[in-house]
Amino acid sequence: MGGNSEKRAKKALRRVHLKTWQLILILIPLIFITATLFRFDHIKMVELKEAVKAADEAENDEEIAKTLTELKNFTFSHIVINVIEDNGVQNITFGTGTFYLEHQYIRAASAALQEAEQKLASSDNPNGNVFAKAMDVCKPQAIANHWNWNSPGYLNCMTGEINKYPTTSELESTIIADLPSTELYRHNYASPLWAPTFSGLTLLLCLIISVVIFIRFLIWLVLRLAIIFLKNR
């Protein structure tokens, strides 16, 4: 009786072992195909992101809105794996990562600063146009240090110069209030962890095959232990 049980266990062991190897042979190329599809999705996302930056540099607001919509729609409907560098550390994320519409912000900030300048120029401040005086000091520093309009160094310089004059707290508040928030020009589109695309379907198939292989390995291990147990009886 024990001999028959051992034979049946060995027969089942060989059958599970062969099927497992067949699944592994299917899984290996499928992993490469999935990785290639993920790579294609990443490249497409980068192309759409570069189109947004190009529209921003061209200062074309209509094209910016169009390319942003295309980038958002693609990212929201595909699995986009991205590597983002933060303070020298590379992190894997799903989506575009954070990017800024720098040129669009500079145009908006410039318009806001010009408006603030007009307000201050028409005010009855006894010190005159303190905004223009601050600009005379801070503009050369901004050029030398490559500051943008939203740079902390430039804003600190402007508010610092304005604060040198009495009764300018209200004017300082006017400048800060007129500047647009940088958050309005900051974008970060997150992609889903899974989507019904070619890459998503091949990924799902890889996961299913991997689970089956793992289960078959457990079955193989149990049968192997059963054979050892039956031999020692």
How many structural domains compose the chain? 2
Which residue, 168, 185, 202, sits at the end of a domain?
185
Whether residues 60 and 111 share a domain: the answer is no
**Tens digit of each residue's pLDDT (9 = 90 or more) over 44-95:** 999 999 999 999 999 899 999 999 999 999 999 999 999 887 777 888 899 9
Residue 181, Cβ neighbours under 10 Å: how many? 10
Same domain as 79, residue 8: yes
CA distance linking residue 196 with residue 202, whole number of Å: 10
Alpha-carbon distance of 45 to 24, in angstroms, equals 32
> Around Cβ 16, how many Cβ atoms within 10 Å?
20
Residues 148 and 202 in one domain: no
Is 15 in the same domain as 91? yes
Predicted local confidence at residue 50, as pLDDT: 95
Which pTM value belongs to this model? 0.69
At which of 166, 185, 204 does a domain end? 185
Same domain, 10 and 64: yes
Task: State which H helix or E strand residue 84 sits in.
Answer: strand 81-86
Q: Are residues 17 and 93 in the same domain?
A: yes
Q: Are residues 157 and 199 in the same domain?
A: no
The reply to whether 177 and 108 lie within a common domain is yes
CA dist 24 and 228 (Å) reads 26
- Domain containing 116: what range? 103-185
Phi-psi region of 167 (alpha: psi -120 to 50; beta: other; left: phi over 0): left
Q: Which amino acid is at 113?
A: L
Same domain, yes or no: 94 and 192: yes
Residue 197 corresponds to which tokens in the numbers above? 């695309």
pLDDT tens digits for 125-159? 555 566 777 778 888 888 888 777 667 678 778 77
Is 16 in the same domain as 93? Answer: yes
Q: Specify whether 81 is located in the same domain as 194.
A: yes
Pair 94, 193 in one domain = yes
SS3 182: helix
- Please state, in angstroms and rounded to a whole number, the distance separating the CA atoms of residues 11 and 17: 10
